[in-house]
Structure 1
Amino acid sequence: MLELSLEKRFPGFRLALELTLAEGEVLALLGPSGSGKSTLLRLVAGLLPPDRGFVRFQGEDLTAFPPERRKVGFLFQDYALFPHLTVAENIAFGLVEARWPKEVQRARVEELLLRMELTPHARKRPQELSGGEQQRVALARALAPRPRLLLLDEPLGALDLRLREELLLFLRRTLKEEGVTTLLVTHDQGEAFLLAHRVALLREGHLVQVGRPEEVYARPKDAWTARFLGHKNLLSPEESQALGLPPKAHLLPPRALALEGSLEGVVEERLFFGPRVGLWVRVKGVRLYLEAPEGPKEGERVSLHLDPSRALALEG
């Protein structure tokens, strides 16, 4: 188990939180830029000293340990591969530093080359590889010494959209196979939801909400969390009352709205996404969003069904 109780101050910013990870768990730190995600990772890695608190793993206090004694694997966004070493030598770097027996080193490197689909590239230098291949080399190097904790800082952030989609499932499968406790930093909620057992939302250095991806998305704690997670139908107390709900702030999740119902409205915008259509509809002065396989044109009158049992009251 990883136990964190940390405080770190900078001019105009304070990070303070407590967090626990179970052994083998993948937890994603999700939040906007400047929320303290990467700072937390560097505190756990030992690259920054905390002003107060501790880092404990399996009951052992690591707070005073330098990075090399923490047995932590760290994957940076820019990969930080050694340009003068081959792929195989990059992967083996941590094993050489830890003085693993050469035969054991060779077996572990071959295992990871195979798992990461890098065997044909073993003798190449990093600059001869694509971005996706470099990412797999960096991941293999981080995993090679069998760290007890893996830290991933925006691991797919430097890749274009096509490569990110391709490597997301690859990374998910690798983390599952290795079974290593992992703390992942990302600003991308889709990435967090696909990779993590739990997500922790961070705002201005403080935890807002922690839970399983399905729970956090379906029941965001407040309006800020709902907006950050991409929910569109956030109603003020006045808008809620206009739609027949109690006069409180509400979130209408996607399943709360559908075409064909008792509410009359006009389509203000129609957005074509290929397999689905997004509709912004004005109903009783309230602008609502819903999606359908196909939909009416802009300016057309439509009727909507609102399921009040699915409306979620928010803290604010």
Structure 2
Amino acid sequence: MPLTEPELDLKVADRTPVAEGVVLLRLVRPDGGPLPSWTPGAHVDLLLAPGLVRQYSLCGDPGDDRAFEVAVLREPIGRGGSAHVHDRLAEGDTVRVRGPRNHFGLAESPRYLFVAGGIGITPLLPMIAEAARRRTDWRLVYGGRTRASMAFADRLVRDHPDRVELCPQDETGLLDLDGLLGVPLSGALVYCCGPEPLLRAAEERCASWPKGALRVERFTPAATDGGEASAFEVELALTGTTLTVPEDRSILEVVEEAGVPVLSSCREGTCGTCETVVLDGVPDHRDSLLTEEERAAGDVMFICVSRARSPRLVLEL
């Protein structure tokens, strides 16, 4: 994968609290120039410090090429990214940004059901705006711990009072997913983002829906049994190199050790940065991104976590 993904040093032009524990950053080029285009569902990497790279959904207006907007929730038991943003990234500071990229795009559909949990509202905001612009039928059900913790809730209700249902847990309890997803909604696509228990519950409820009707985005790995790991070979088609991947190492680690540059970020199969074309062989997909159809196609894989079902893979590297 060529190292062509854009990286820019952007200035924090504005830093605004939008809910309890949530801050909205507006990032612009210091020279005021345009930013790369993006579509609803896209995210960017913030390179906050050496070894500290985090992914955040773009939640602003795709038509505004002068600013990226991301909303960051302070995670009390996080891994340091949100604390860095909240405690150390001030208005006027510069932060390196990589991307955008999109593995959660808004597909064409006659109707949408958006389901958000907490900060999972962020990638859905541009989707809702696009659905409204298209005059497509849509509905949002948005849950959170408390009303005060639910970012953008007041704006959503003000702008779309007949289509938005707010469900603060301390007022209404957990989202009624059985009532919401228990019966397939004809012609609808479901877009869901939020904490892992919500995503797993949505997947369980949508098992009877048409294949591909549910689209989810994760920023932590899905809890899956990766199965046994065995050694295999990878041929790098662009360099003519063949490498052995042992059972205790990833393709990404072995390729990097061989001096082949590959973009990577999360190293846990959630961000999509290391997406690599598969020219031959059968991948063993262990990421949290690809749909069942994309896994069956077997033409791309994420080499930070995925392995091989065949003795040999040929990759476009």
Scaled by the length of structure 2, the TM-score of the pair is 0.25
Scaled by the length of structure 1, the TM-score of the pair is 0.25
Of structures 1 and 2, the larger Rg is shown by 1
